[in-house]
Amino acid sequence: MRFTNARGVMLRSVASSLLVTGILVLGQPAAAADVSATQSPWFAVDRNRAAIVAAIVERWHDTAVAHAATPGVLSDAQLRDALQKLRADHLFSASLAGSYAAVLSTLSEAGALETASSKVNAKTGNPAPELVYTAITPCRIIDSRFAAGGSPTAGSTRNWLATNPAGSFAGQGGSATNCGIPVKAAAVTVNITIFNNATGPAYLVAWPFNKPQPTAATLNWVTPNTQLANSAVLPLCTGAGCTSDFSMFVSAGTDFVMDVVGYQSSPSGGNVLSVAPSGAQYSSIQAAIDAAIAMGAADGNSFIVKVAPGIYNEQVTLKDWVDVHGAGSTATGIVFTGTGPAVFAGAQSVVRDLGIFADDTVSNVAVAIQQNTTTAAGFPSLQWVAVGAVGPKDNVGLNVDNGFIHVLNSDIGTGPPGAGTNQTAIVASNAANVRFANGRLTPSLGGLTRVVAKQNAGAIIKIDNSELRGTTIGAPSCFAVFQQNYTAAACP
């Protein structure tokens, strides 16, 4: 939905439905989707395939028209047909492509551009995302003799880490490094060696943390004082609540060491981190951003956080050199219902293809995006975002007190208003410098005021090629701005 009056007044009941269904839909009720925290993110892509395909085609329409005579450039119909063939994970990648060439590359790699006589791009029967295996130099992650808690005792279950990108395994008696695993992996390949066991026959079993213990053993031994080794591919806990990676039960007391020789992670890997309600590296956008910082995000070593369709109920603070890409403002949304803004801006970061929504029932002013200061690195850029704020008092879509911020191809709105409230799309104060282009500023009808842009003393707001539904305060600079009926807007 657009958080504006574009196609009907935005109601708080709609905001509640967003939390239930887990999807943001522009211009229509949220009942078109059903994404729960237990479903694969790729299921959500399939459920919203038509909207995602339409958004991709619309985004690259001008490019296709401008280069229609160039070999390899697809018409809208050809692009739509090719996108419809894509498996869900490939379609997600295409939606995040930063160039038309990248879209075509995704289609080609997926086989969607092949002729009917060529190999068919069959959809996998596994709805979970495919994983990529990365071999590493064998590295010890556990030595029970030196681990906190000591050696496992008979009949005990202990929880352990297998990947720790921002830390080490010293607390488990292992390496003082992260073993060269830069991400929270979905699985690891390990060698397990037991020794100092007092009785037998006995066994141990390892399984993902927060999951039921399986009946199959990972390693068995028959006689006491046995030194025995076995290799295993060990799935790990993923998503929310993963304070540990795996659990291990031993039927008899024993010491053991565990060495990791490789890990399996999302195909993104490297400086691209994946977020989804389940099945990805992270289930929280902020957790992925923080992980990128811990991995060394910096100028010349930037990271991208790719976010699958769904609703992410959290407050997000942007960080330098970490971009956040959703699957479209109709599909991926940050919804924060606590006190304060949904997003703190101010960092060198590009945020695109997201819905950002604040529902603040406590504060005097409900704010979707707040920028109080800027980092030394620079200013954020918001692209293809839908922004909204709802509260019983005053509502502000974007509130900037300091620094630069650019907003492109986006909608900012508020509402519905409470009695005696002010509705403002953009407020700029102090040393703020706001650029808004190619979008719509549509605060809700009603309330005391309906202001598209309020420029306080010392601040700068420049609006270009955009639709304005409301008045301005403080004389922001406007260039080619229009009302809903495409007549010139009343903007100084």
Confidence of residue 249 (pLDDT cuts 50, 70, 90): very high
243, 287: one domain: no
The string of pLDDT tens digits covering residues 63-77 is 777 777 666 788 888
Tokens representing 110 are 């997926």
Q: Please tell me which of 106-110, 178-182, 456-460 the model is most confident about, judged by mean pLDDT.
A: 456-460
State the average pLDDT for the chain.
81
**298: Cβ–Cβ under 8 A, 6 or more apart, which residues?**
320, 321
Q: How many helices (H) and strands (E) does the chain have?
A: 8, 27
Does pLDDT of 123 surpass 70? no
Confidence of residue 433 (pLDDT cuts 50, 70, 90): very high
Tokens representing 459 are 């601040």
Residue 125 is predicted with a pLDDT of 38
The string of pLDDT tens digits covering residues 399-409 is 999 999 999 99
Confidence of residue 25 (pLDDT cuts 50, 70, 90): very low
Inter-residue long-range contacts of 55-60, CB under 8 Å, 24+ positions, other chains counted:
55/95, 55/328, 55/330, 56/83, 56/94, 56/95, 56/103, 57/83, 59/384, 60/100, 60/103
88, 138: one domain: no
Residue 280 is predicted with a pLDDT of 80
Confidence of residue 270 (pLDDT cuts 50, 70, 90): low
Confidence of residue 131 (pLDDT cuts 50, 70, 90): low
The better pLDDT of the pair 250, 57 is held by: 250
146, 71: one domain: no
| Residue at 334 is within a domain | yes
Percentage of residues in the chain having pLDDT higher than 90: 43
143, 100: one domain: no
77, 186: one domain: no
Residue 284 is predicted with a pLDDT of 93
Residue 272 is predicted with a pLDDT of 85
Query: Picking from 141-150, 251-260, 342-351, 383-392, which range would have the lowest pLDDT averaged per residue?
Result: 383-392
179, 281: one domain: no
350, 232: one domain: no
- Torsion over CA: 243, 245, 250, 254 (sign): negative
Q: Which domain holds residue 446?
A: 272-479
Domain boundary among 265, 284, 302: 265
